Amino acid sequence: MRKTIKVSNITCAQCAKSIESYFETMDDVDAKVLVTSKKVIFNYNEEKYDEHALGDHLRIIGYYPIFNNEEQRRAKKKDIIDLILAAILTFPLLWTMFKHLGIPIWVPDLLMDGYVQWAIATPILFYVGRRFFVSAYHQIKGRNLGMDVLVVIGTTAAYIYSIIETLTYDEHASHVMPELYFETTAVIIFMVLVGNFFENRVKEKTSDALQALISLGAKEARIKRDQEEMMVPIDQVHVGETMIVLANEKVPLDGIILSGESYLDEAMITGEPMPAYRKEGDRVIGSTMNTVNTLYVNVTAVGRDTVLETIIQTVEDTALIKPRAQRIADRIAQLFVPVVVVISILTFIAWIFLVGGGQPIARSFAPAIAVLVISCPCALGLATPTSIAVGSGIAFKEGILYKGGEFFEMANKISAVAFDKTGTLTKGHPELVHIEGQEQMLQIAASLEKHSNHPIAKAITEAYQGDLRDVSSFQVLMGKGIQGKMGDDDVMVGSPNLMKDMGFNTKAFNATPYLMQGNTVFYTALNGEVIGMLVVADPIKPSAKGVIQELKRRGLTPYMITGDQELTAKAIAHELDIDHVFYEVLPHEKAEKIQSIQKEGKIVAFVGDGINDAPALKMADVGFAVGTGSDIAIDTSDVTLMHVDLGLVIKAIDLSLATLKNIYMNFLWAFSYNIIMIPLAAIGLLNPSLAGIGMGFSSIMVVLNALSLKLFKFKYKTEE
């Protein structure tokens, strides 16, 4: 069972590590955290757990699950109350900070009193800042030290030191005010909360695509039960029940039309702008819009089995992708906090020995705390998920679903792209492309073919728009054609071999040029005389040639791998200017062909759509599945193209490169920030309170840089 639970207080990658580590110790449950959208994806044994039991476990380790809109509203309200309370209590202490910095500003004597500052700082640290203590406890327990540990160490150290100074200060023995750091404790907590507040608002924008996807789904379905119609929540509908979908309503769930016909707007799923005609027996997809007539639909999929839910799961899983650079950063982050604590201690010791004059401990305390506070492992943890979340959102709007984690690293290494032919380079369904003969010929052919369900028969009947004639004595000649009677006339549509077997003369029609192009030729005969020729072909997709030319321009080698006959394969390859062709290849041999290309030292991408393409998609370094193809092909691919436009292959590669570049920019910022700021804090150039501002700023910068991906423009445009 898969379940996604929203968690209100996930702030960084260390939170994710704490949650994942906790559930790793439990049997039959796996947890993965989406930091950017503050969600935990659970895969669990539903006989042992339910969502509320998982929620209880989250609360045990200090994280607060949200199961409904009311809980989410309360969580946001609680955060705002904490922020307002921190602001109110921090302001008077912030006022005293300016005095400590030597700025000539009037401050009431009452506020300079250590006991008053102690009283103000206490609720800030232990009430407003309680979340940091809870998270730090579980981070230490799980040995995944993060930002919360640094905040707790820094603020608590400042708080305890200030208490000691307050209690030991003798105003009669000394006229020098003690160095107090209560304001440091308050300002750090306040600034981290402010940083988290803005960071959360910015993060919400990184998951726009996922929120848009979720909002597509209907909340209720009109179900017929016990001869009555009733509105039922989506999660209470069962497979096999009958949905009633009125005009201008969303189709709630996937199903098969039992009765009725209508036009459905499927643009949000297929990208096609024109509504699609759907009738009895046709499949409908949940979240599409019924525009004309009432439909009665048999439910075939619910919950996570629906097309929309599958897409949502894919987008969620994409955010979990960790390229090699992020995996290295995660290992660095694990060592980060202990190293920072050591640097802070060494800074404190160095200042004690290097600082002359009085109060060496007091003057050594500020830079040591500043080192703790300015350090931020959050930026490292956010570098990948924020960029991938934004990149995946852009990709989805174009009709691209990233699935495999390796794709982001492999995209710039691809040197060869292999294509399946039928349904990938071609449209995958035959069309009538040429007609020769008498005027009545097409009417005769269409009237005969109407009685056949063969794909070629459908191509001929779709090409004729007039009235059909009645046919009697209809007979299918397996593998050759069909025959029948129209009144007193004998009529026949069939292959050249059938005409030859019947002894009919076809010399009036020159089929050779069409056969050389790999097309299929049929003849129409009336009373033993051939009166016309029909040429049927599987047309090349309009975008195919432009994509092949663009690949060649970029130095990538295109291949075609097909089970079709040599003549047809070579004709298609010649038209598309593909130099490397493998034809008459059996399904299991496609993977072998991919392997042979790889042995030449090439990094191979494969684009396919059928069940027979699944082995090749798995064997290739990167697999692209055309979304109109089989579920098996889509499941084994790294990238799913939801539209028929092959230009999405180019766009998927370009966007992945832009996303990877953005990730590296995030890492550059995160590392540069810490490399520069920690030494500045150590030599005393950063006040601890200002360091608190800098810590929040570093994470916000990473998220803002990720959002800059939204400015990405695709250079390649499909030319129809």
**Tens of pLDDT along 42-73?**
888 888 888 888 888 888 877 888 877 677 77
Sequence-separated (6 or more) residues with CB below 8 Å from residue 426? 538, 539, 540, 541, 544, 572
The CATH fold assigned to 431-537 is: Calcium-transporting ATPase, cytoplasmic domain N (3.40.1110)
Answer with the residue of higher pLDDT: 14 or 413: 413
Residues with a catalytic annotation lie at: 420
Report helix, strand and coil shares of the chain as percent, to nearest 5: 55, 20, 30
Q: Yes or no: is domain 219-306 CATH 2.70.150.10?
A: yes
Q: Quickly list DSSP for 85-104.
A: HHHHHHHHHHHHHHHHTT--
pLDDT over 90 (residue 622) = no
Q: Which CATH architecture has domain 400-427+541-642?
A: 3-Layer(aba) Sandwich (3.40)
Per-residue pLDDT of 393-406, as tens digits, reads 788 788 888 875 56
> With pLDDT > 90 as the criterion, what percentage of the chain qualifies?
15
> In this predicted structure, what is the pLDDT of residue 362?
64
Answer with the residue of higher pLDDT: 447 or 21: 447
Lowest-confidence pick of 57-66, 173-182, 248-257: 173-182
pLDDT over 50 (residue 175) = no
Where are the domains positioned within the chain? 219-306, 400-427+541-642, 431-537
What's the mean per-residue pLDDT of the chain?
Answer: 80
Answer with the residue of higher pLDDT: 404 or 517: 517
pLDDT over 70 (residue 693) = no
Answer with the residue of higher pLDDT: 423 or 268: 423
Query: Is 51 in contact with 59 (CB distance < 8 Å)?
Result: no
Distances (CA, A) of 82 to 68, 103, 125, 154, 197: 22, 29, 11, 20, 11
Q: Buried (b) or exposed (e) across 28-66, using 16+ Cβ within 10 A?
A: ebebbbbbbbbbbbbebeeeebebeebbebbeebbbbbb
Total-model pTM: 0.65
Answer with the residue of higher pLDDT: 502 or 173: 502
At 176, the pLDDT band (50, 70, 90 cuts) reads very low
| Residue type, position 436, single letter | E
> In this predicted structure, what is the pLDDT of residue 123?
93
> With pLDDT > 70 as the criterion, what percentage of the chain qualifies?
82
What's the average model confidence in pLDDT over 290-316? 81
Of residues 548, 581, 557, the one with CA closest to residue 567: 581
At 720, the pLDDT band (50, 70, 90 cuts) reads very low
